[in-house]
Structure 1
Amino acid sequence: MFESTLKTLGSLLCWCSILLATAAGAISFEEQDGNSVLEQRVRDFLEWEAQDLGRDIKVTPHSGSARLSNCHDPEPFLTNPEQRLYGRVSVGIRCESGQTRYLQADVSVLVDHVIVARDIEAGATIGAGDVELVEGRLEKLPRHALLELSEALGMSATRPLRTGALLQSHHLRKQRLVNRGSRVTVIAKGNGFSVRREAKALDNGSLGDAVRLNIADGGQLKAIVTGHGRLEVVF
């Protein structure tokens, strides 16, 4: 009788162990499946948000601290709409249960950026043959790296720049095209007319700057610098 009871208890314990193991496996599987959904939602969300920055966007979520039980429809959002969308990015996760968690992800973006194509002396004006575009990962570039050739062309070098150097905004300044007190040519344009006349500049100016001018009749006007000693007014 005693031996029979022990056998019965042993069988019950065995079945309980099997049931517990099965339940634990099911919970583990459900948790893993939920985290896969969460990570994929984050990838899709950040790839969409960063699509205008460049190409070949790669997102690696770090979701270990953001496990959400019973979260079958995670909704990612940016914790700070003004944050940059490359490098380490913070993401919030809303769940249908009302839970909110936060995680981080690494976002890598391939872009073109400007480098020096040949040695440039300090003070020289940057021309088309002085710079070129190469590929690089945006998150590894300095914050002030130039990404467009147009940002460099026509600018003046603030320091000697050597071939292959990565070009940054503080390496350049606008070239002065108009000097205060100098005589300049201003062209006034309107619907069906164009008038050219001489004037005296009252300000220094670089390309695109608005400069005050004294005209022959003693009046003043503002014009936009378009070249060396040349300005334009559009009516």
Structure 2
Amino acid sequence: MDDGTNIWSKSIWVIRQNSELFLAYCAVLPAIGILQEFLKQTSGNNFALVFTSVILAIPAHLSVLSNIRAFDAMRELQRKNPKYMIGFFFRTIALGVISVVPTFLLVVILSGIGWGKNVVVSTTILALVLLSAIVFAKWGTMLPAVLMQNDKTFSKAGRRGNISFSYAFPRLILSFGLLTIVQLVVALIAAIVLGAGGDYFPATGGFDFALLCTALLAAIIGGYQVIMTSVILSRAYLRAENIGANQNDPVPIETM
């Protein structure tokens, strides 16, 4: 169960608890990019990335929610509900779609009224971060609810969100916003310093290992982002359900 530490150190603790899966995630993300470039196909890219994130997010949630090892909890879940991962995956997709659709509409509207490309892009990114934080703060507790075999409907998640919104929203802004900025800046600096190109298999031949190193750095930050988001949502769930470290006391409010 939750121990009340801050979300940054708790995320590091979760990574240590699930180090094998975290390293696998960091390896798989560049591998997906390499494979798609090699096959010259991009279809299914988003689903592959979401599914890979789900594989990392589930044990991250369970590390916060359960007082047993995440792998043991996953085996128990598999025994009780073999389809739990499918439910988690499609609810993640649903929350993402709810966040993204209004953003697409915003792009259409701003482009239609003649806003410049750079302004449209920056406004859209800001809107996507805010909308994602709002949507996941409001309904994101349905994800840990799937793992806890609790009411995982939108209506129940919305009621939990009303209780935990002030906790989850500002922290999700950090996870979705700040960590995305850090990821982009680190990747850009690494690409410039290492001299990475735009393709793993450049037209001149060979393989761009500098681009691979850049992708690995981005994947490490992205994996931390998945872990932190899971920590935030699981803690929001625990607060809304009034479940603490001893399953009776409220979880203590941690500091940033």
Question: Structure 2-normalised TM-score?
Answer: 0.20
Which structure features the higher share of helix residues?
Answer: 2
- Whose radius of gyration is greater, 1 or 2? 1
Higher relative contact order (CA 8 A, sep 6+): 2
Question: Structure 1-normalised TM-score?
Answer: 0.22
Which structure features the higher share of strand residues?
Answer: 1
